[in-house]
Amino acid sequence: MRTGTEGRGNGFSVSTVRETNLQLVLRTVRELAPCSRAAVASDTGLNKTTVSSLVADLMARGLVRETGETSQRRVGRPGVLLALDDTSLAAIGLEVNVDYLAVVAVDLLDRELATRHVHFDARAAGPEASARLMAETVRETAAASALAGRRIVGVSVAVPGLVDPVGTVVLAPNLGWRDVPLGGRLAALLDDPALPTQVDNDGNLGVMAEFRDGTCAGTPDLVYVTGEVGVGAGVLSGGTLLRGASGSAGEIGHLCLDPDGPECACGRRGCLEALAGIGAIVAAAVPDLAAGGLPWTGSEVADLVGAATRRAREGDAVAVAAMERAGTWLGRGLAGLANVVDPGVVVLGGYFVPMGPWLLPSVRAALAEHMFAPDTGGCRVELSGLGFSAAARGGAAAMVHALDTGRLPLPAPAEERVE
């Protein structure tokens, strides 16, 4: 049983207690739906009168609705069933990466309402132009027909780099960004004090998307690897996201695997990213097309990956060898991570997905070779089914789930909102 409070003798204000209980009831409806008010009262320990008042409040806020069906109770009048209101609200997730901007909007049930993927050179554009494009994209998405009549409860941005708790991009080497107050700038551009914004690492939000909606959904010990120009990871251990002391947990792209190897964007040599990132793969797979190396524009990265996979399908030995070699390096890097956090599954995302037929065999072989105890069950390596929207989708879903965990304020009742 979850435990609510009626607000007597506990040191909390009535408003604080009510907010806490609203979140509790919302969370309970999410987990039990469809459910009656009586079931919510039984599960939370709140009395039925309190639950009825809280449900009415949540309905006014667009968070809960009556389904129109009734419970089949043996005694007494049948109770009207409740569910999350999937018609009134939405959350928007963005991902800005070296070569694209992705956006996903979801409802309160995490169901996708709208999605968009635009080739975009964020490094060349710089932080200010990137923030302006994000704000414009949020406004366009909120105005889309698929979101007609919905209020936006929050906006999330995924970034390939280190982000602090207040939304400052501390360091994103592949974007060329350092100490960029992205969260604050985006909030200012959106100019809506009632609209919460958050910024997080793309690997962190990607692994949450995989946990909720991916092919290995529900796996509590899970790693998601971003297969972009940069290589990073989000790590779940026992269902908990690992962030580390400074928020840089999961930066596997900067594991040094070869001290005499190629230079990385971070300025060091022999990092996993420099050996198995998309830039390294296409430079080796299609050297005639990738002359000069990074940086490439957004459309150029996609075109080069397309050319590399096309040649591999045609049996081009150079392209196949480049992907197999990168797979071996990637497997070695993943083995180091697996020996520390012991995941059940590693999911490869981004551009690693179309290269999967040539990457996966060598990734799996190198992982098995370098893991401490591969015969004890080891860990599987799979390809993501979420495409390039994983981090954006994970961010949008995170905003939705933050409503019933208290990390975001609940939206005001519709009649109280000033337009």
Question: What pLDDT sits at residue 352?
Answer: 97
Count Cβ atoms within 10 A of the Cβ of residue 176 and give its class: 0-12 exposed, 13-18 middle, 19 or more buried: middle
Average pLDDT (409-413) is 89
Query: What's the DSSP call for residue 348?
Result: E
pLDDT at 31: 94
Q: State the Cα angle at 101 between 250 and 330, rounded to 5°.
A: 35
In the predicted structure, residue 14 carries a pLDDT above the cut 50: no
* Edge-to-edge strand ranges of the sheet holding 80-84: 35-36, 80-84, 64-70
pLDDT at 9: 36
pTM of the model: 0.90
pLDDT the model gives residue 193: 81
Query: What is the chain's mean pLDDT, rounded?
Result: 90
Q: pLDDT tens across 296-311, in order?
A: 666 788 899 999 999 9
- pLDDT attached to residue 295: 61
Amino acid at 1: M
For residue 293, the number of C-alpha atoms closer than 13 Å in the C-beta half-sphere is 10
The token pair that represents 362 in the structure block: 């060598």
User: In terms of pLDDT, which residue wins out, 46 or 408?
Assistant: 46
pLDDT average, residue stretch 396-414: 89
pLDDT value, residue 10: 34
In the chain, the domains with their CATH numbers are 14-84 (1.10.10.10), 89-205+392-416 (3.30.420.40), 219-384 (3.30.420.40)
Rg, Å, the chain Cα set = 23
Between residues 19 and 375, the one the model is more confident about: 19
70: which 2 tokens? 């009734």
Handedness of CA 187, 18, 22, 220 (dihedral sign): positive
Cβ(189)–Cβ(131) under 8 Å? yes
Q: Does the pLDDT of residue 415 top 80, yes or no?
A: no
Check residue 324 and give its pLDDT. 98
Task: Give the pLDDT confidence of 166-222 residue by residue, as tens digits.
Answer: 999 999 998 999 999 999 999 999 988 878 999 999 999 999 999 999 989 999 999
pLDDT of 22 strictly over 90: yes
Note the pLDDT of residue 131: 97
CB 197, CB 167: distance < 8 Å: yes
Q: What percent of the chain shows pLDDT beyond 70? A: 91
Which residue has tokens 């809506």? 192
Adjacent-strand bridge partners of 171: 162, 178
* Selection from 79, 185, 176 nearest residue 122 by Cα: 176
Residue 17, CA distances (Å) to 41, 56, 81 in order: 16, 16, 25
| Strands of 380-383's sheet in order across | 240-241, 231-237, 222-227, 345-348, 380-383
Number of residues in the chain: 419
Run of H or E residues at 183: helix 182-190
Q: In a 3-state reduction of DSSP, which class is residue 343?
A: coil
Q: What is the C-alpha to C-alpha distance for residues 188 and 172, in angstroms, rounded to an integer?
A: 22
* Amino acid letter for position 197: T
Cβ-contact 230, 174 below 8 angstroms: yes
243-302 pLDDT, tens digit per residue, is 999 888 999 999 999 999 999 988 899 999 999 999 999 999 999 988 766 666 667 888
pLDDT value, residue 75: 56
